[in-house]
A = this chain, B = another copy of it.
């Protein structure tokens, strides 16, 4: 196997997606180009295409890589309110670690079809604890996810005042609103 002219080790998908994620985190999605990425890896741009179908496929890969790095709270015996808060904060933390990519994901449908991700399973378990009836589970979890995403999106873009203490309070306001809404019973 012919090895790259200027590198000892052959390219790997992990190496590619890690470098791409680095570029995106550093300069936003628009800072990721096949040419810059290739330069970063000391490789010819076209070489990337032997590991990745297209730039879109690369971005999907990067999203998956980032998603795998999100650490969810453990599903212990705290009250559902506590667990819901913990999940929201975990998600929030992850978003702040990869803000540019996060925004990209939420503006591109094909990226979040990952409905079987463990995040969703955990959320559903919590909602069951909260007494949401089975036939409302899907809808309610969709809505909650959308709420939290909306909040985080606002924050990442500075729609909210960028005092970190203040954004913390906003996230709290949001979660408490949700909790109280859920405590009030099922929706119609």
Partner of A153, one of B106, B176, B185: B106
Residues in B with CB closer than 8 Å to A142 are: 154, 159-160, 170
Does A133 sit within 8 A of B, measured CB to CB?
A: no
Partner of A107, one of B106, B150, B173, B184: B106
Residues in B with CB closer than 8 Å to A3 are: none
- Please tell me if the beta carbons of B143 and A151 are within 8 angstroms of each other in the complex: yes
Measured CB to CB, the nearest residue on chain B to A111 is B157
- Please tell me if the beta carbons of A173 and B106 are within 8 angstroms of each other in the complex: no
- Please tell me if the beta carbons of B172 and A188 are within 8 angstroms of each other in the complex: yes
Q: Nearest Cβ distance between residue A84 and chain B, in whole angstroms?
A: 13
Give the contact-size bracket for chain A: 35 or more
- Please tell me if the beta carbons of B174 and A143 are within 8 angstroms of each other in the complex: yes
Number of copies: 2
- Please tell me if the beta carbons of A170 and B143 are within 8 angstroms of each other in the complex: yes
Q: Nearest Cβ distance between residue A14 and chain B, in whole angstroms?
A: 28
Q: Nearest Cβ distance between residue A21 and chain B, in whole angstroms?
A: 19
**Which residues of chain A in 102-143 are interfacial with respect to chain B, using CB atoms and an 8 Å cutoff?**
103-104, 106-109, 112, 136, 139-140, 142-143
Q: Nearest Cβ distance between residue A109 and chain B, in whole angstroms?
A: 4
**How would residues 32 to 52 of chain A score, 1 for a CB under 8 Å from any chain B CB and 0 otherwise?**
000000000000000000000
**Which residues of chain A in 162-188 are interfacial with respect to chain B, using CB atoms and an 8 Å cutoff?**
166, 169-170, 172-174, 176-178, 180-185, 187-188
Supposing A178-B177, A184-B180 touch, asked if A109 and B143 sit within 8 A by C-beta, the answer is no
Complex Cα–Cα for A107 and B29 (A): 12
CB-defined A-B contacts under 8 Å, sample of 5:
A108-B157, A139-B173, A143-B170, A143-B174, A180-B180
Complex Cα–Cα for A178 and B136 (A): 16
